[in-house]
Chain A
């Protein structure tokens, strides 16, 4: 049952091959048995899931069910869930039980989906390896000595290990696409403003965007249909009709113009990764697409710009964690200043503290123009690169990350080495564009991701291209050893 995609599970439910209760119990029991080896789930919501599945079965029996009725999913632990602990991977929120649901969570409830639990992640989504989680790192199901990527490593690993057919995730600089690539699954970061950020714990507000993870593009389309909505409670959410992302999956890619940025195939790219990506591009050519070499000349500036903008916004967003209204509070504060300083030093891990300090530095008097102002201008340069490219092409493709999953601890001492992991993903966040990753090969028995970048609100075209690729390749159906049975 765990090898079925969401699309297949929906069919099975409709045709009474199995019930939602059976599916839900099956995935819950897999999580309990297998997840101790991967650590992808922080909180299991078993009782709630079984009750929701029972109600879903009643709806299904009536025949008027919502699109995802009875389908189990996992939510990244960055989305507030009413009555269920939402930790954001941090000691700061280890005891935080939100009194409300994030809009994304509410959308899933309204679509009839069943929440199995909450997934592990880098603390406050700051990391590319899941090593910064307060709950310990997630292990990559393809090679447990290697990272699953981050920050949505828990969601990605859980799907790779077939612990859930789909999950929510968020992406600030690559946190959906990079773990999707490293775990051999499909993940999509929508256009900034497409999915509500309300109730999603903020990291860098001008970059954060939620999106789906699943095994196939077809399933991601189903999940995005549910996640995308206009929400009055998020003032950056764009009031624009949500198309049916499943409608055009079957279209041919003949004549599609695919831009290949030469900067994405330069120094630092693993040879095996490059080979897999180039072979995938050749598949597109075989299907009738046209490959066009393009240039995104400011790609190299995206990492430095990001590491000003993201920490600056994070330092402001994370000032709300002060030990007063919720979350961790230090013992016996001697005065208010001591309460703030010790609460935050105890509650935040090293990487989070480092980013708060960097952000504070970049925003402080005398440095603001040189760092934050300059980074915002560079951001405009990067956006213009893409605008020019999309005058010539329909989609852009390249590698999602420079190399396959690296081993634990191998980048731990150098924050900059870790930051360069996101070199191909960060610029789309800076420009606000949608990006996705899908499995396109293997190197040393570890998955490689193909990245697709689209123009603003062009998710349907990206999903169509990804789906067509998945009709002629089988990378997305492969499973880590011992997982399928």
Chain B
């Protein structure tokens, strides 16, 4: 099973990954073999079954809405690729 080039390109856009043309063929084949593996799921009889997205059936815990930690902006921004005046810098988005 291989996946169409157009599908790979759409996935790359959704996942924000640059994929150059030389790699498309190989990626298509490898993804195809993984999808063949996961297609085995379709044979399982799962009628009347709940999703089990959180294994030990725990309930989500809530906490009080209050500030518990001090401002760490300088520490966080010290490791950023590019900042200015406390802001993260990225290429211009709006002309």
Contact = CB atoms under 8 A, between A and B. Distances in A.
A456 B33 contact: no
B70 interface: no
B67 interface: no
30 contacts: A97-B79, A192-B55, A193-B58, A235-B60, A303-B37, A304-B38, A304-B40, A307-B34, A308-B41, A325-B76, A327-B81, A329-B81, A334-B91, A335-B93, A338-B91, A340-B16, A341-B17, A345-B17, A345-B19, A358-B34, A360-B14, A374-B42, A374-B46, A375-B38, A377-B51, A379-B51, A379-B52, A380-B51, A431-B55, A432-B56
Interface of A: 96-99, 191-193, 206, 232, 235-236, 238-239, 298, 300-301, 303-305, 307-308, 315, 319, 322-327, 329, 333-342, 344-345, 348, 353-354, 356-358, 360-362, 364, 370-371, 373-381, 383, 414-416, 419, 430-432, 456
Interface string B28-50: 00110111111111101010011
Contact of A380 (B16, B38, B39, B52): B52
Interface of B: 7-8, 10-12, 14-19, 27, 30-31, 33-42, 44, 46, 49-56, 58, 60-61, 63, 72, 75-76, 78-82, 88, 90-93
Given A99-B72, A324-B88, A383-B55, A357 B49 contact: no
B54 A206 contact: yes
A478 B27 CA distance: 43
A238 B56 contact: yes
Contacts of B37: 303-304, 307, 416, 419
B15 to A, nearest CB: 5
Given A308-B41, A340-B16, A236 B54 contact: yes
A83 B22 CA distance: 40
A167 B15 CA distance: 34
A83 B94 CA distance: 36
Contacts of A381: 44, 46, 49
Given A325-B88, A374-B46, A360 B30 contact: no
A206 B55 contact: yes
Contact of B79 (A99, A308, A342, A415): A99
Contacts of A303: 37
Nearest to A340: B16
A168 to B, nearest CB: 22
Contact of B53 (A206, A370, A456): A206
A454 to B, nearest CB: 13
Contact of B16 (A98, A322, A334): A322
A380 B92 contact: no
A232 B91 contact: no
Given A192-B56, A415-B30, A298 B79 contact: no
Q: Which of B12, B42, B44 has the most CB of A within 10 A?
A: B44
